[in-house]
């Protein structure tokens, strides 16, 4: 059994998780694909719900065993990836897969799934707004914020590789527009 995939990507802090969770709540035939990650969990995150948290050696073993659809070293020493088992689990239930991934992972997934994938890039209204959002999360130190902002500028330049662009200047409007894009794709 196989279905379609919806891929959300954005620079860190642009709103991809908030928007993708809203759309998941509105569409009963969509299910979130939990990614694997080697970074430590944040306070509110749970293993198996937010990410499959792994050690780097465990992650590397799964790479060797070809258990990932795709994977990337997103930040130095922090690997993220999409497990074949997650996609197969969701498709086995007759649902479509939703990915909330980094930009490079999204482009890789789009290449892999082609026309069966809708890749949506969520654009912050500006780098200044993005910086304010990152700071307001209070989950990053100063060095990490600067790394994320430098990465964001590079990621923003890739938006043309996506099927759709969604500017998140007002969350409610972005959620509504994103939902319309997904519903149209799943028809």
Q: Centre a 10 Å sphere on the Cβ of residue 176 and count the other Cβ atoms it contains.
A: 14
Write out the DSSP string of 72-84.
Answer: EEEETTEEEEEEH
Q: How, if at all, do strands 35-37 and 51-53 pair?
A: parallel
Q: What is the dihedral of CA 177, 31, 160, 39, to 10 degrees?
A: 120
CATH architecture assignment, domain 5-186: 3-Layer(aba) Sandwich (3.40)
CB half-sphere exposure, 96, CA atoms < 13 A: 20
Full pLDDT tens readout for the chain, 187 residues = 579 999 999 998 899 999 999 999 999 999 999 999 999 998 889 999 999 999 999 999 999 999 999 999 987 889 999 999 999 999 999 999 999 988 988 999 999 999 999 999 999 998 888 888 888 887 778 888 888 888 888 999 999 999 999 999 999 999 999 999 999 999 9
Distance CA 101, CA 99 (A): 6
pLDDT for res 1: 53
pLDDT for res 124: 93
């Amino acid at each position: 059994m196989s279905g379609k995939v919806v891929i959300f990507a954005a620079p860190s802090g642009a709103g991809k998780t908030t928007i993708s969770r809203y759309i998941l709540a509105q569409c009963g035939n969509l299910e979130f694909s939990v990614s694997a990650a080697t970074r430590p969990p944040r306070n509110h995150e749970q293993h198996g719900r937010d990410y499959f948290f792994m050690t780097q050696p465990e992650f590397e073993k799964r790479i060797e065993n070809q258990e990932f659809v795709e994977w990337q070293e997103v930040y130095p020493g922090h690997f993220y990836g999409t497990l074949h088992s997650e996609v197969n689990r969701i498709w086995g239930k007759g649902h479509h897969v939703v990915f909330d991934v980094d930009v490079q992972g999204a482009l890789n997934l789009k290449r892999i799934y082609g026309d069966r994938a809708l890749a949506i890039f969520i654009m912050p209204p500006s780098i200044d707004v993005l910086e304010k959002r990152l700071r307001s999360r209070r989950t990053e130190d100063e060095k990490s914020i600067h790394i994320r902002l430098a990465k964001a500028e590079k990621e923003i330049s890739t938006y043309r590789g996506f099927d759709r662009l969604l500017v998140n200047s007002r969350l409610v409007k972005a959620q509504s527009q994103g939902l319309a894009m997904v519903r149209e794709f799943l028809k």
